Amino acid sequence: MSEFEKTPLNKVIRGSKRATYDKAQINGILDSHFICYVPYIHGNTSIVIPTAYGRKGNQILVHGSNKNRMLLSLLDQDLASLTVSHLDGLVLARSVFHHSVNYRSVTVFGKAHLIEDRNEKMEALEIITENIIPGRWGEARIPSEKELNGTLVVAIDIDEASAKIRDVGANDEVADHDLDVWAGVLEIDTLPGKIVRNTDCKPGVPTPESVKNFNIQNHSTQSES
Amino acid sequence: MSEFEKTPLNKVIRGSKRATYDKAQINGILDSHFICYVPYIHGNTSIVIPTAYGRKGNQILVHGSNKNRMLLSLLDQDLASLTVSHLDGLVLARSVFHHSVNYRSVTVFGKAHLIEDRNEKMEALEIITENIIPGRWGEARIPSEKELNGTLVVAIDIDEASAKIRDVGANDEVADHDLDVWAGVLEIDTLPGKIVRNTDCKPGVPTPESVKNFNIQNHSTQSES
């Protein structure tokens, strides 16, 4: 199946013309970011925590300390969700009302499972690390058994998902087109910046390939409306 | 009071040495971003939605359509929360285990209130717009009464809050310092990108000051560990 089924849970109600349920497109958005926002129920409210992730097939993998409240709460919930979102630009219309942002956002719903098998945990940590910065797993010292034992790894099934994408120019009311107000998009770029070597880094160790090749480009090609 | 009280709700448990309750520092983080992540309880799960915001004193202001499920759910909850987070860099340690990210993150807890007064709504929309892109409110056509009536504006009290900040180099185990592995920080910059004028923009209308002056710089000064 190349599309997620529309259900009461994942169906986009507001701005439904920007919605997509296409699996390839949803996976494309998931695979081009590495921070997801995971909400969990806590008492009479819910709390959201940003955390690193990787994708393995139809699961999102996250990790943390054995005492991580967010992860432990997710495991207690019947259903987990998470959102991944790229901010691609500011949409500046002639009217304040039609101001918006361009973005690519995915929301995933599914059950959270504890990964207990030692090899599956190690593989999950490799997938998360490689999703953040490809090539780094092979450069760094991999986790020891003690470190593995101190790490909670959780897989969240991508049972239901939907995306919302806005990637066009400003859409003003026709009555406003004659106003002497500029309209357009100010793109926002997310880019690798300065490389800051640790002062305690062993002399002679060169900047690794993973760092030199790192590329984070958070916006899709943008067409005008 | 210059600090938020530590309570069971806002007290940072994991990585508490990176926590701060200082109001000026928390407001500084809130005022240097314009997208917050708002979780809400929905059935047996919670869902998180990224949305634009502005701050007015001890309230966070958000808005949406009159039928926005997230906003309506918040108004029904006893307590709302939201998180604002800047991703400042990748922290690359010699060991995979000590990899991390540099970030500045704030979580706010408080009651959500509907803003009904026409002038307060207009002021809230101005605060949100000016927080996204300073100067834009004075350039664009402000909301009509009809547009105001179609907009839900919600204020979330900043009753409790805490921040977590990581802004240092990699912290490896001493036993790993001799490994031939590079350690350091790869900063991530969020910057204004291309300016894409709407094809239907009236000829002769120049690029406005708000766009020319826009500055989004999402990382703090970074010192090495």
Dig out the tokens for B61 from the structure.
């202001």
Q: Which member of B92, B139, B202 has the closest CB to residue A178?
A: B202
Pick A134 or B222 by higher pLDDT: A134
A194 to chain B: which residues are within 8 Å by CB? 187, 222
For the segment A101-120, what is each residue's pLDDT rounded down to a tens digit?
999 999 999 999 999 999 99
Mean pLDDT confidence for B158-170: 97
| pLDDT exceeds cutoff 80 at A220 | no
Q: What's the pLDDT score for residue B15?
A: 82
**ipTM exceeds 0.85:** yes
CB contact under 8 A, A141 and B68: no
Q: What pLDDT band is residue A217 in, cutting at 50, 70 and 90?
A: low
CA–CA separation, A182 vs A83, rounded Å?
Answer: 32
Q: State whether residue A176 sits within 8 Å of chain B by CB.
A: yes
Q: Tell me the C-alpha distance between A73 and B39, whole Å.
A: 14
pLDDT digits (tens, 9 = 90+) for A36-83: 999 999 999 999 999 999 999 999 999 999 999 999 999 999 999 999
Q: How far is A42 from chain B (nearest CA, A)?
A: 9
In this complex, is the C-beta atom of B95 within 8 Å of any C-beta atom belonging to chain A?
A: yes
Under an 8 A CB cutoff, do A183 and B206 touch? Answer: no
Buried-state track B112-125, b at ≥16 Cβ within 10 A, e below 16: beebeeeeebbbbb
Nearest CA distance, B2 vs chain A (angstrom)? 24
pLDDT confidence of residue A13: 84
Instruction: Determine the Cα–Cα distance for residues B112 and B110; give it in Å rounded to an integer.
Output: 7
Mean pLDDT over B77-88 rounds to: 97
B101 in reach of chain A (CB within 8 A):
yes
Write down the pLDDT at residue A221.
39
Distance of alpha carbon A89 from alpha carbon A183, whole angstroms: 13
* Model confidence at B218: pLDDT above 80: no
Report which of A146, A155, A136, A158 is spatially closest to residue A53, judged by C-alpha positions. Answer: A155
A48/B37 CB distance under 8 A: yes
Higher pLDDT among residues B13 and A201, named by residue: A201
Confidence of residue A1 (pLDDT cuts 50, 70, 90): low
Residue B21 confidence (pLDDT) above 80: yes
Residue B221 scores a pLDDT above 50: no
Angle among Cα B5, B7, B13 to the nearest 5 degrees reads 110
| pLDDT band, residue B17 (cuts 50/70/90) | confident
In this predicted structure, what is the pLDDT of residue B1? Answer: 66
Nearest chain B residue to A209 by CA distance is B182
Q: Is B221 on the interface with A (CB under 8 A)?
A: no
Contact status of A75 with chain B (Cβ, < 8 Å): no
Q: Per-residue pLDDT averaged across A189-201, rounded?
A: 96
Residue B224 has pLDDT above 50, yes or no: no
Q: Residue A105's closest CA among A25, A39, A6, A187?
A: A25
* Of A97, A140, A184, Cβ closest to residue B147: A97
The separation between the first and the last C-alpha atoms of chain A, rounded to the nearest angstrom, is 31
List, as ranges, residues 26-45 from A with C-beta within 8 Å of B: 35, 37-41, 43-45
Nearest to A164 by CA among A23, A26, A1: A26
Domains of chain A: 16-90+99-168+191-213 (2.30.110.10)
Q: Mean pLDDT in chain A?
A: 94
* Average pLDDT of span A24-46: 96
> Are the C-beta atoms of A71 and A152 separated by less than 8 Å?
yes
Question: Which carries the bigger pLDDT value, residue B219 or residue B114?
Answer: B114
- Which among B14, B109, B183 has CB closest to A201? B183
How many angstroms separate the CA of residue B180 from the nearest CA in chain A?
A: 6
For the stretch A5-17, pLDDT in tens is: 999 999 998 888 8
Q: Which pLDDT tens digit goes with each residue over B122-139?
A: 999 999 999 999 999 999
For residue A115, count CB atoms less than 10 angstroms from its CB and return exposed for 0-12, middle for 13-18, buried for 19 or more.
buried
Nearest-CA distance B101 → chain A (Å): 9
In tens, the pLDDT along B167-204 reads: 999 999 999 999 999 999 999 999 999 999 999 999 99
